[in-house]
Structure 1
Amino acid sequence: MNKHIAMLMGALMLWGTSIPPTKWAMEALPPFTVTFLRLLLAALFLAPFVWRQASRQKNKPKIPWLRMWILSFTGVVGYFMINSIGLNMTSAVNASILNASLPLFTLLLSSLYLKEQITTSQWCGLFLGVVGVMVITVNPGLEVKMTSLVGDGIILLSCFVWAIYIVLMKRPKGEEKLSNEMFTFLTLFLGAVMLVPAVIGDAFGYDHYSISWKAMLSILFLALVPTITAYWLWNHALKYISASSAGAYLNTLPLFSVLFSMGLLGESLTWKLITGAMFILLGVLGTEKRFQRTESLF
């Protein structure tokens, strides 16, 4: 296997580990605070390396600040924050499978924003994806909790926000001149800054903080592994692999998430979830025809 493909898959596997520690951290702290600490710690760990790199540069690139604020919200803080809220209301397995809808949202936004043509097979893929989401989220049984249904909807909203980030990155406007380390640091740090008002709100409105070693270690793990390490691997691999080709590998993320959620949280995979996942993955396969390339990656 090409080493850059291996790095890409490594990033996806590490992202797949994020759901269990996020749930463990939210047993003690509210979602906004968990996300803030995750981003702030990750930015602080990166800061010395970015400072050293910047001090060695003679021609420092101009930072497109407005663009960076937008990319930070859609690609980091918006996605993490909304996803954490949804994860607090639904199961980890549900969230893992619903994350597979990301390529479907990306395709739809690419058509609307980038004016890309959608083929018949891609429209069919979108339809199958919607069917899969409906199978997972809608249940006529009385045992379904409204909070779980709302949580599933919030998970889908987080995927939509991240799809906006992916589409925006297809039309770079200055951020491509920054190093991967600087770009990652800025998106993480700006994301933490944006969360400060929400964290202050948590301090006044959340009355059962319960700081524990389990929560603190979970946040530390989130900062070091699925944030710093995974983003570094992903960004480095994208230097040698096109974004469209990388998008096809993104479909393995739900698989890693489900495996870690079942293994670490003891959640079960029902036939309803399996059926919905099959529809979503079939839909993704239909949309991914636009990602096919003639050259070999292996």
Structure 2
Amino acid sequence: MNFSVLLLLLVTLVWGTTFPLLKSASSSLSGVEISAIRFVIAAVCMLPFVFKARRETWRDGALLGALALTSYVAQAYGLEHISSNRSAFLTSLNVLMVPFIGLLFGGRLSILMVGAATVACSGIGLMSWEGGGNLLGDSATLLCALAYALYTIMLSQRAGRHDARQLAATQIILMALFASLWVLGSGASGGGAALASLPERLMPHIGTLVYLGLVATAGMLMLQAYAQRNVSADKAAVIYALEPVFAALFGWLLLSESLTVQAGIGGAMVVVAVIISELKPAEPKPAS
């Protein structure tokens, strides 16, 4: 297992801590408000890295930032309507989307990676699937999965062209700008009451938002931009499927949440999927 894969495992572990935090923050903040605040915090942290960024880095950062912002906002909006477990499962469907969407960008369909992705999604299904669907919540979360599948593909294609810190910084700065304009626009259209009450509503969640901004956004986007130079999009997507596994593990260790046998089997299936993704297909024997 190479160093880049280990970095992506660390990224996924940190992401696993964000589901309960997002669920808690969404009790008083909208999805776009959570996203805007976390990205502004991250942007302040990453500001020193943008001054030497090339025009090409800003261009790719804008594309990646738009996709990531769509994914984050759609997920946070979905969590206003569905449980974090259901959100984790629906979000994980990006693992299956990546290899098939990759065909449109000149990729090749690997049976090994499709198999790993299928095992991963099945495992997350055992862990997380439950009833109580909501059309708006489910649709928003599926949009999140689609946007993140596209993000994963684009990042693997473009990360090697740029300095990882500069690429992450340009993404974050633009995401903060887009999300802030979105909040201001939606607040103005609603008469300004939401904007007026924003300081009061965010204060109970300030620690959560700082963690989401500095660690889960700034730090992890930078590690992603570095690691996906050397990891294919479909393999990265399978690794990211560990996110709900880590979320369930932290819930069990820190919050004393129940962990059923079914959830344990599902988590084990995702771990097996990651191991499968690390296997190298046999080289064809040369013709004699």
Band of TM-score, shorter chain: 0.7 to 0.9
Asked whether the equivalents of residues 41 and 220 of structure 1 are also in contact (C-alpha less than 8 Å), the reply is yes
Which AA in structure 1 matches 2:79? L
User: Of 164, 167, 170, which residue of structure 1 is paired with 2:150?
Assistant: 164
Distance 1:237 1:47, change over 3 A: same
Map 1:1-298 → 2, pairs under 5 A: 4-51=4-51, 54=52, 61-63=54-56, 65-74=58-67, 76-117=68-109, 119=111, 122=114, 129=121, 139=131, 144=132, 147=134, 150-172=136-158, 176-204=160-188, 205=190, 207=194, 209=198, 210-239=200-229, 241-243=230-232, 245-261=235-251, 277=266, 281=270, 285=273, 292-293=279-280
- Kindly, what percent of the aligned residue pairs are identical? 20
Distance 1:179 1:132, change over 3 A: closer
Asked whether the equivalents of residues 101 and 280 of structure 1 are also in contact (C-alpha less than 8 Å), the reply is no
Rounded to whole Å, the distance in 1 between the matches of 2:76 and 2:238 is 25
SS at match of 1:63: helix
Structure 2 length as normaliser, TM-score?
A: 0.76
Asked whether the equivalents of residues 28 and 211 of structure 1 are also in contact (C-alpha less than 8 Å), the reply is yes
Distance 1:136 1:112, change over 3 A: farther
> Unmatched 5+ residue regions in structure 2?
283-288
Which AA in structure 1 matches 2:72? F
SS at match of 2:241: helix
SS at match of 1:12: helix
Asked whether the equivalents of residues 40 and 176 of structure 2 are also in contact (C-alpha less than 8 Å), the reply is yes
The one of the two structures with greater contact order (alpha-carbon pairs below 8 A, sep at least 6) is: 1
Asked whether the equivalents of residues 126 and 263 of structure 2 are also in contact (C-alpha less than 8 Å), the reply is no
Rounded to whole Å, the distance in 1 between the matches of 2:103 and 2:3 is 32
Aligned-residue Cα RMSD (Å) equals 3.9
Rounded to whole Å, the distance in 1 between the matches of 2:79 and 2:41 is 21
Asked whether the equivalents of residues 92 and 267 of structure 1 are also in contact (C-alpha less than 8 Å), the reply is no
Asked whether the equivalents of residues 80 and 158 of structure 1 are also in contact (C-alpha less than 8 Å), the reply is yes
Deviation at 1:156, TM superposition (A): 2.4
Distance 1:124 1:212, change over 3 A: closer
Asked whether the equivalents of residues 87 and 95 of structure 1 are also in contact (C-alpha less than 8 Å), the reply is yes
> Unmatched 5+ residue regions in structure 1?
55-59
Deviation at 1:107, TM superposition (A): 1.5
Rounded to whole Å, the distance in 2 between the matches of 1:125 and 1:10 is 19
Deviation at 1:189, TM superposition (A): 1.0
Rounded to whole Å, the distance in 2 between the matches of 1:278 and 1:133 is 10
